[in-house]
């Protein structure tokens, strides 16, 4: 495994929830990253944010690591979950709640319900 893949692997395995994104959770730099970070922030999920714009090696490395061409990318307990569209669908269907429940990730259930209410 290359150095960058090793670094990414260690990061996703050492943290319960990791979001590789453009920008930071406080200041996303693209709409897709903003949407996923917004969902996680609103739901009160503790997560590690990795700004791919700060490191070109990470920006390409994460795409190679997951074999997924776009950013953002969400990882839960070391497993790749998906990008913006998948996270949006999972949030609206309740699948993201189930994933968090199954993996012992704390989140605000009321906030998750409010997201679904606002989008129904």
Query: What residues pair up with 80 in beta bridges, in sequence order?
Result: 75
27's tokens:
């200041």
Q: What is the DSSP letter of 23?
A: B
Residue 80, C-beta contacts closer than 8 angstroms, at least 6 positions apart: 12, 66, 68, 73, 74
What tokens were used for 107? 């989140």
Degrees (nearest 5) of the Cα angle 77, 24, 104? 20
Report how far Cα 119 is from the mean position of its chain's Cα atoms: 20
Q: Binding site annotation covers 30? A: yes
Q: Which residues are annotated as a binding site?
A: 30
Give binding residues for [2Fe-2S] cluster as ranges.
Answer: 30
């Amino acid at each position: 495994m290359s150095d960058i893949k090793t670094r990414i692997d260690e990061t996703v395995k050492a943290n319960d929830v990791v979001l590789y994104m453009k920008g930071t959770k406080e200041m996303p730099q693209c709409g897709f990253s903003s949407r996923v970070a917004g969902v996680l922030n609103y739901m009160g999920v503790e997560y590690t944010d990795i700004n791919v714009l700060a490191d070109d090696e990470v920006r390409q490395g994460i795409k190679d690591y997951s074999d997924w061409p776009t950013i953002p990318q969400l990882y839960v307990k070391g497993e790749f979950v998906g990008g913006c569209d998948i996270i949006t669908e999972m949030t609206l269907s309740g699948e993201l709640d189930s994933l968090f429940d199954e993996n012992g990730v704390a989140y605000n259930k009321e906030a998750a319900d409010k997201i679904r209410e606002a989008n129904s």
